[in-house]
A and B are shown apart, each in its own frame.
Chain A
Amino acid sequence: GAVVSQHPSWVICKSGTSVKIECRSLDFQATTMFWYRQFPKQSLMLMATSNEGSKATYEQGVEKDKFLINHASLTLSTLTVTSAHPEDSSFYICSATTSRETQYFGPGTRLLVL
């Protein structure tokens, strides 16, 4: 139980294009989903918290117009990196939770912007 998937697992795009990453909870309904970013050999940095049906809460320093988050249902949240640039290249990981207690993580999406 508690499986979270992400799609795509990796993506390469040209600078200036937008990329959408999906996060799905496969066998449970997630009241809250989180989006993290991880640079090589570094820890995970929380980008935003997303509750179904409401606007995401962004962490300080994260541009909400650049990283659009939509949590349309209890099993799906999407992160869109708009007008991507090489510095947006990173490993993006989502997590989902049914409560405030345990987060289950997706396998991550590796984004490379050329």
Chain B
Amino acid sequence: GEDVEQSLFLSVREGDSSVINCTYTDSSSTYLYWYKQEPGAGLQLLTYIFSNMDMKQDQRLTVLLNKKDKHLSLRIADTQTGDSAIYFCAETPEGGKLIFGQGTELSVKP
């Protein structure tokens, strides 16, 4: 079945690195995504990784993919208070559908 799991909360201090973890079930997903949602807003695409890649870096964001363990992580370097939001990972099993995790609420303390 399709299932994506994330831890619900993460609290870090400003300037530290944040690592948000995600596990998924569908090994046929071609792409895996990370989205950011600020309060009362829609989803902002942060980054995505193709399933045949192990790592993707984009400025402060690093995505690691362990396809064998079906584990995806998002590392945010030098976390800022503006990074406080809910982060969703998503898999794409078929037909362009996105299956989202529950979201991880990141709280950045000054």
Residues of A within 8 A of B (CB): 4, 6, 32, 34, 42-44, 46, 49, 93, 95, 97, 99-108, 110
Task: State whether the Cβ of B42 lies closer than 8 Å to any Cβ in chain A.
Answer: yes
Q: What bracket does the count of chain B residues touching chain A fall in?
A: 20 to 34
- Please determine whether A44 and B100 come into contact, CB atoms closer than 8 angstroms: yes
A48 to chain B, nearest CB (A): 11
Q: With A43-B88, A44-B88 in contact, do A34 and B98 touch (Cβ < 8 Å)? A: yes
Contacts of B77 in A (CB 8 A): none
Contacts of B99 in A (CB 8 A): 46
- Please determine whether A100 and B45 come into contact, CB atoms closer than 8 angstroms: no
User: In the bound complex, how far is the Cα of B97 from the Cα of A66, in angstroms?
Assistant: 21
Contacts of B92 in A (CB 8 A): 100-101
Subset of 6 A-B contacts with CB under 8 Å: A44-B88, A44-B98, A102-B45, A102-B48, A105-B44, A106-B42
- Please determine whether A32 and B96 come into contact, CB atoms closer than 8 angstroms: yes
Task: State whether the Cβ of B27 lies closer than 8 Å to any Cβ in chain A.
Answer: no
Q: With A97-B96, A100-B95, A105-B35 in contact, do A43 and B42 touch (Cβ < 8 Å)? A: no
A23 to chain B, nearest CB (A): 11
Contacts of B103 in A (CB 8 A): 42-43
Residues of B within 8 A of A (CB): 30-31, 33, 35, 40-45, 48, 88, 92, 95-103
- Please determine whether B31 and A107 come into contact, CB atoms closer than 8 angstroms: no
Closest residue of chain A to B48 (Cβ to Cβ) is A102
B91 to chain A, nearest CB (A): 12
Closest residue of chain B to A101 (Cβ to Cβ) is B31
Contacts of A100 in B (CB 8 A): 30, 92, 95-96
B95 to chain A, nearest CB (A): 7
User: In the bound complex, how far is the Cα of B96 from the Cα of A102, in angstroms?
Assistant: 8
Contacts of B98 in A (CB 8 A): 34, 44, 46, 95, 103
Q: With A49-B96, A100-B96 in contact, do A105 and B43 touch (Cβ < 8 Å)? A: yes
User: In the bound complex, how far is the Cα of B100 from the Cα of A43, in angstroms?
Assistant: 7
- Please determine whether A49 and B101 come into contact, CB atoms closer than 8 angstroms: no
- Please determine whether B96 and A107 come into contact, CB atoms closer than 8 angstroms: no
